[in-house]
Chains A and B, each alone.
Chain A
Amino acid sequence: MALIDLVVEKIVKIPLESQDKPDILRELVRILKDAGEIDDFDAVLQGVQDREDKQSTGLEQGIAVPHCKSAAVSSLKLAIGIAPQGIDFDSMDGQPTNLFFLLIASPGLSGPHVEALAEIAKLSRSKAVCKALVHAESAQEVVELLKGS
């Protein structure tokens, strides 16, 4: 399944309510739980936190890509969260983070996981798209922006 197929309104949240990194991770995983995409909330959250403990996935220009492999999922799972106010996420450039792309993959799907992360990386280099996403007012608008419709 292509990354674009995963972009639906129920996996997008605007605005994120949390104010710090641990709560943001929890809120992102909660999006997947509430959308019925995962069953084991704790296992997925633990996987994401373990990866963040090695090094923050907060990149430059307000983007973060928390990710992990988890046996708690059988296919690729994506959640998108937007915090227009910006959150301290230990980013590389020290700037607040606004856009969060959470990606979880099952251990047997490393290839599709890598390709999905590469698509997000490419998207994150487009300043115009990122700016439009941060200023989006609804999940529907985010879906429309990403699908280019």
Chain B
Amino acid sequence: MSNPIKRIMVYVDGTEQSVTAAQYAICLASFSGAELIAYYVINTRAVEDLLKARIFLKDEQVEYEHDMEADAERYLNYINELAVKKGVSVIKKRSRGSVHREIVDSIEADDVDLLVIGELSRIRSRRDEFFDETERAMRAVSCSVLIVKDEDRVWEMYESLV
């Protein structure tokens, strides 16, 4: 049987949980030989909603989108550095729009076998108003999803990778 996982995508959003997910994905790519994509979505949909709701001013919209572009560059470069240290190649990818929608579309377009994401909130509010974009993506994507937990254990695994 050939390797069932040929392409892994890790979703990175700047949170500590997503960095831990990236470390796990790097280990997984190293062990399996799968191709690794690090993906960041600049959430322009939420920014537009905030402008419509008048919570944001026009100059805030511009400023936050600029900041998120810079965050994307910084976090994707950081993940690349983590991977290079362990001899793993990473394809850096980013897009703009609605986070869960962009992840779903990218999984399809890139023919991804496995989506790796950080730990989700342990609190599950019954209120629809509190939604998590990563959780929505997890439910909507067509491929298998791996949720990474236990930051300390993952760090040890990453550090022990030669």
Contact = CB atoms under 8 A, between A and B. Distances in A.
A122 interface: yes
Contacts of A147: 123, 125-127
A25 to B, nearest CB: 16
Nearest to B68: A110
Contacts of A146: 125, 127, 130
A131 to B, nearest CB: 14
B130 A123 contact: yes
Given A2-B121, A5-B123, A148-B125, A108 B53 contact: no
Interface stretch (A14-22, A39-47, A53-61, A134-142): A53-61
A55 B9 CA distance: 41
A111 B129 contact: no
Contacts of B130: 2-4, 119, 123, 146
Interface residues of B, number: 33
A65 interface: yes
B134 to A, nearest CB: 9
A4 B121 contact: yes
Nearest to B66: A110
**Chain A, interface residues (CB within 8 Å), range:** 35 or more
Given A1-B121, A67-B55, A129-B129, A111 B50 contact: no
Contacts of A71: none
B46 A112 contact: no
A119 B43 CA distance: 13
Given A4-B125, A67-B55, A126-B129, A110 B71 contact: yes
Given A65-B55, A111-B14, A111-B43, A118 B49 contact: yes
Interface string B116-141: 00001111011101111100000000
A114 interface: yes
Given A4-B121, A111-B14, A119 B53 contact: no
Interface of B: 13-15, 42-43, 46-47, 49-50, 53-57, 59, 64, 67-68, 71, 74, 99, 120-123, 125-127, 129-133
Interface of A: 1-5, 54-55, 57, 59, 65, 67, 69, 92, 107-115, 117-126, 129, 146-149
Interface pairs A-B: 3 shortest CB-CB: A148-B126, A110-B67, A2-B121
